[in-house]
């Protein structure tokens, strides 16, 4: 089975965009919802195993030739059978995984505390990658700093892109709630997406120059 990384914007174009397409704006709502649904279902299964992934991002999701999403890279995953549903990382975590901070929850950045609710936050960042066709989150922020942390603590969040799905952006903001208990579970997110996916048939094209999100 042919697979590509969901993060690889060029691979999306090579695989799914017709040669005659002069301008590709973004993934249509329905296909973006389907990608996000499949990831949410996978993460819900991981949550039932009482595991925290800790590195959920488009770069760690594979996309098959049938447009099926598969979550990969469990090198940072930990079980949560002990520790009251949370994992406390050691002090060297940020140094050992320096690129992950843009996907890391606020409590992960502040206290090195990782939970399923923290994975939900990361999932929200992944949704921004889907809607932007793989653009880097917080593209204008080059490195982690106290200013970035203060931005998040003060309620600052990523703004909606011009062509992003309003439905998915609403899910993103739910994922980025300050209080982890206010974030939707992966099961609830998946149920929401199921209702969206029944609106139109599977034959909707992956990319379109006519239908922005």
Q: Which helix (H) or strand (E) holds 77?
A: none
Residue 81 pLDDT grade (very low, low, confident, very high; cuts 50, 70, 90): confident
Boundaries of domain holding 193: 3-197
In a domain, 202, yes or no: no
Residue 83 lies in a domain: yes
Domains in the chain, number: 1
CATH code: domain of residue 19: 1.10.510.10
Burial of 211 (0-12, 13-18, 19+ CB in 10 A): middle
Give the mean model confidence (pLDDT) for residues 125-141. Answer: 92
Which pLDDT value is given to residue 8?
A: 61
Token representation of residue 143 = 């490195």
Q: Is the distance from CB of 122 to CB of 104 less than 8 angstroms?
A: yes
Is 70 exceeded by the pLDDT of residue 204? no
Mean pLDDT, all residues of the chain: 79
Question: Residue 10: its pLDDT value, please?
Answer: 54
Class of residue 48 by CB neighbours under 10 A (exposed 0-12, middle 13-18, buried 19+): exposed
* 85 and 115 Cβ atoms separated by less than 8 Å: yes
- Catalytic center residues: 55
Contact status, residue 14 vs residue 21, Cβ threshold 8 Å: no
Residue appearing with tokens 């969040």: 157
Mean pLDDT within 167-184: 94
Residue 24 lies in a domain: yes
The answer as to whether 19 is a domain residue is: yes
Q: Which one is predicted more confidently, 18 or 153? A: 153
Task: Please report the pLDDT score of residue 106 as a whole number.
Answer: 95
Q: Beta strand 113-114 with 3-5: parallel, antiparallel or unpaired?
A: unpaired
Evaluate if pTM is beyond 0.85.
no
């Amino acid at each position: 089975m042919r697979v590509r990384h969901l993060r690889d914007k060029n691979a999306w174009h090579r695989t799914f965009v017709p040669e005659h397409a002069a301008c590709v704006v973004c993934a249509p709502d329905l296909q973006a919802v389907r990608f996000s649904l499949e990831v949410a279902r996978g993460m819900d299964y991981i949550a039932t195993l009482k595991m925290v992934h800790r590195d959920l991002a488009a770069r760690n999701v594979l996309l098959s030739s049938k447009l099926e999403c598969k979550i990969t890279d469990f090198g940072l995953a930990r079980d949560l059978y002990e520790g009251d549903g949370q994992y406390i990382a050691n002090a060297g975590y940020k140094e050992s995984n320096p690129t992950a901070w843009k996907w890391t929850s606020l409590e992960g950045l502040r206290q090195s505390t990782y939970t399923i609710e923290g994975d939900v936050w990361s999932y929200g960042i992944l949704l921004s990658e889907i809607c932007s066709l793989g653009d880097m989150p917080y593209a204008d922020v080059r490195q982690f700093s106290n200013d970035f942390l203060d931005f998040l603590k003060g309620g600052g969040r990523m703004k909606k892109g011009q062509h992003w799905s309003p439905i998915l952006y609403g899910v993103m903001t739910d994922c980025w709630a300050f209080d982890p208990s206010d974030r939707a579970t992966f099961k609830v997110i998946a149920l929401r997406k199921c209702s969206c996916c029944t609106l139109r048939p599977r034959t909707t094209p992956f990319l379109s120059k006519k239908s922005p999100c």
